[in-house]
Amino acid sequence: MLKMQKVLNVIKTVIILAFLILYASCKVTKRVNIIEEGTYSLKRYTSKSGFSSINVKAYDFEYKNDLNAGLTINNIYYDLNFNKEEKTVPLHIVASPKNKFNVRFFFPSRYSVNVKEFTLNQGDSIVIKAYLKEDNRPVY
């Protein structure tokens, strides 16, 4: 019984250390630059882990409510989905560095938002928040 207790303590310690190492390696260290275009913001961070990623989320422009908008990244379609608390789950994409990306958000009865083309460098973590304005034009 005492031997089993020691084994369990060692396993707990290993799990805690693994979690701490994972957390420390994913932590974003510094913000490089911010682009504000009125209908979106693009923030570029540098991560310690060296992985490159794109994180996106969409909001209603007027009230800042979450929108489960559709989007395309380099003409590949993605959906933003809601979780159990009715909050939009941000889309997280691990991407290849040294590539150029075009991002477009869209939602029914909203003007689409086109993010200016950007390049993803090694270790960059890009966070894009799009704010879609209401489109009152009649649908035919």
Q: What is the dihedral of CA 42, 45, 47, 51, to 10 degrees?
A: 30
How far apart (Å, rounded) are the C-alpha atoms in residues 77 and 70?
Answer: 7
Residue 12 has pLDDT above 90, yes or no: no
pLDDT at 59 (0 to 100): 92
pLDDT digits (tens, 9 = 90+) for 82-104: 787 777 778 888 888 889 999 99
pLDDT at 7 (0 to 100): 67
pLDDT digits (tens, 9 = 90+) for 33-76: 565 557 999 999 988 778 889 999 999 999 888 888 999 999 99
Residue 117 has pLDDT above 50, yes or no: yes
pLDDT at 15 (0 to 100): 67
What are the structure tokens assigned to 122, written together? 């090694």
pLDDT more than 90, % of the chain = 38
* Fold exhibited by the domain 29-132: Immunoglobulin-like (2.60.40)
The residue extents of the domains of the chain are 29-132
> At 87, phi and psi to the nearest 5?
-105, 145
Name the more confident of 8 and 122. Answer: 122
